[in-house]
Structure 1
């Protein structure tokens, strides 16, 4: 059941690498509302249609949801405050993920909502505030002239400009995509199977545990990423972001090793591995590619690079879930996750170092934007 919406995300991300990058500035709020409505109606049909056919509507649910982030971030990119706005948007997904799970668990325990109606009812609770917030989003003014001078004016990208951008920085982009695949696997397993892992760790009937772990992670990551706004030089900020990713891998890997050896409690491990994961993951979704475009003075937008990375990231997540299911691997999710985090953290650190070397050389071999 988890696979269907994720498969919808994958198709959405590949399509989004074209759709989002070619999107004009007019009507973006309406586009978000249409996509959200399609996703919500799909959850209604999932509840109404008899199994196994209802599972197809989870795929339909995932497809429009996958494009919403790119549209929303297009309001924020290319500004001097993008680091802060992007970090706020991105970390809201950390907290909202835990909060939605808390609401769903509460509905199951206290209102006795059935499992098939749970996604639709949970979505219904959040639809009204979402509509109001989208109306406010449409009122955000475009980037100022100073923003454009500091971060480069963002433009819609044609197929030719996308190919040219990828060809010019292909080595570094591929390295970053592989790193992002590792981080997405971390995030998706933790997100999709958090309830299973908490049950294995002895917290089965404590819905509040989702928010207890996510709130401190959210606050810390928001403060940390927002501080990047203080760095005016785009090249320095771009490279420093790589070091943040390395730090995230290190924290996730070391805490998982300590948990495996029995040196760290389950609750502390879930907090530390979540913190490390999001220190590495969030920069990809708000500052890394935005600073890259500004640092190299490239006429582009974040949507292409972000969605290209996302599409392969979700493919990696599906690969792990399918492998565990098809080969009937009997490991518990907590065991599989802790071991996987250790090895992928090592690989992630090495690949991120190679990316730093690649982009540092690129800075030295071409005229770049210094703002």
Structure 2
């Protein structure tokens, strides 16, 4: 959290308020996205692919489609009326979950495609309340770890509804959304009351404005090489994160913890706290280019932790619970900076006219495309591997590639900074 030596009491209170509300809002939204994944739909398959996998892929394709469209939609987003847009999108996503409960298989895949498409815009909308502030690192970190925590917590709620209230698998998504509906309304109202960035924020982090088509083209023309490296890095992080997130229940089942719903919340809460502390500490680094350099090394460290832990698990030298914990910690150390800090500091360092949403949605679009291709490959190719074999093997390979691309982007943006702002380099 920002220190009082450089932030006024009001700025500290605004930062804490915004971080708390953004965290809680996005955690509630996650209930409409991932709760259904605790349902395994055993015995159901279509076109040679398990129904559960088809549902996850269908939702992911919808999410991916929204990311590609969101490159334009989010980058051009106006500040007024954001709550109305959010209400329409979340309401439509919830309606899709109701239809999913009512229609017979395999038509549920259509419903979850719609659900994913609607929810895919929500990250960019909510982050627009947080960007462009001196405390954005802290606020963004709190918001980003919400999906680490919420991924476990909302699944625990879904398992509780299934086991204690005997809710049918097809109704788990809609019913979990019902549990979180009132809290979400309250938090969206509180989010609308977040004050705009003040003059000190704008001076240090630059004014955030909607981007035109020409603005987007100019940015890619100037930083295209670095963007490609970042997208490749984020591609592998998204694959690792998304497969773990979507098939977490399957992996815990294979490890013997399928009947212990608290395992989801306990492990993900620990990861959330550790990552939040690491990311929040970046707020004390005032010089944006220095923070950007350090973020690269945090991402490299994340790849190393996830890759080494997975290699040890495959060799039988690490217990499954510890492996899941360390693999999650490592991948989120790499994944979360791109969702809250990396692009924020990049824009601030180079004084770019625009907003973070444009860059996040470029990376997300290609990241989710890669995630879908990996899941389809496993099913269509008929790989005879359990998730606790397939996933750690993939993590080892992707971590090695990710380290290379991360170091490349570090070198690229360092050189760009020296060329474009030679008077500021020290």
TM-score (norm 2): 0.86
Of the three residues 98, 107, 111, the one matched with 1:44 is: 98
- Does the aligned pair in 2 maintain the 1:91–1:221 contact within 8 Å? yes
CA apart distance, 1:244: 0.6
Of the three residues 144, 152, 170, the one matched with 1:90 is: 144
Alignment of 1:229-248 (within 5 A): 229-248=283-302
CA RMSD of the aligned region, Å? 1.1
Unaligned runs of 5+ in 1: none
User: Structure 2 CA distance, aligned partners of 1:74 and 1:215?
Assistant: 25
User: Structure 2 CA distance, aligned partners of 1:75 and 1:225?
Assistant: 18
Alignment of 1:154-303 (within 5 A): 154-303=208-357
User: Structure 2 CA distance, aligned partners of 1:242 and 1:165?
Assistant: 21
User: Structure 2 CA distance, aligned partners of 1:54 and 1:48?
Assistant: 9
Gap change, CA 1:263 and 1:369, over 3 Å in 2: farther
Q: State the partner residue of 1:17.
A: 71
CA apart distance, 1:2: 0.8
CA apart distance, 1:33: 1.2
Of the three residues 59, 70, 73, the one matched with 2:124 is: 70
Unaligned runs of 5+ in 2: 1-54
Alignment deviations for residues 281-325 of structure 1 (CA, whole Å, 9 cap, x no partner): 000000000000000011010011100000000001001110011
User: Structure 1 CA distance, aligned partners of 2:304 and 2:71?
Assistant: 30
Corresponding pairs, count: 371
User: Structure 1 CA distance, aligned partners of 2:318 and 2:63?
Assistant: 34
Gap change, CA 1:369 and 1:292, over 3 Å in 2: farther
Q: State the partner residue of 1:326.
A: 380
Q: State the partner residue of 1:116.
A: 170
- Does the aligned pair in 2 maintain the 1:245–1:279 contact within 8 Å? yes
CA apart distance, 1:50: 2.4
User: Structure 2 CA distance, aligned partners of 1:192 and 1:342?
Assistant: 19
User: Structure 1 CA distance, aligned partners of 2:144 and 2:424?
Assistant: 26
User: Structure 2 CA distance, aligned partners of 1:204 and 1:300?
Assistant: 45
User: Structure 2 CA distance, aligned partners of 1:185 and 1:33?
Assistant: 29
- Does the aligned pair in 1 maintain the 2:59–2:109 contact within 8 Å? no
User: Structure 2 CA distance, aligned partners of 1:228 and 1:258?
Assistant: 30
Q: State the partner residue of 1:6.
A: 60
Q: State the partner residue of 2:9.
A: none
- Does the aligned pair in 2 maintain the 1:8–1:59 contact within 8 Å? yes
Alignment deviations for residues 316-335 of structure 1 (CA, whole Å, 9 cap, x no partner): 10011100111111101111
User: Structure 2 CA distance, aligned partners of 1:135 and 1:369?
Assistant: 44
TM-score (norm 1): 0.98
CA apart distance, 1:250: 0.4
Q: Does 1:140 align with 2:172?
A: no
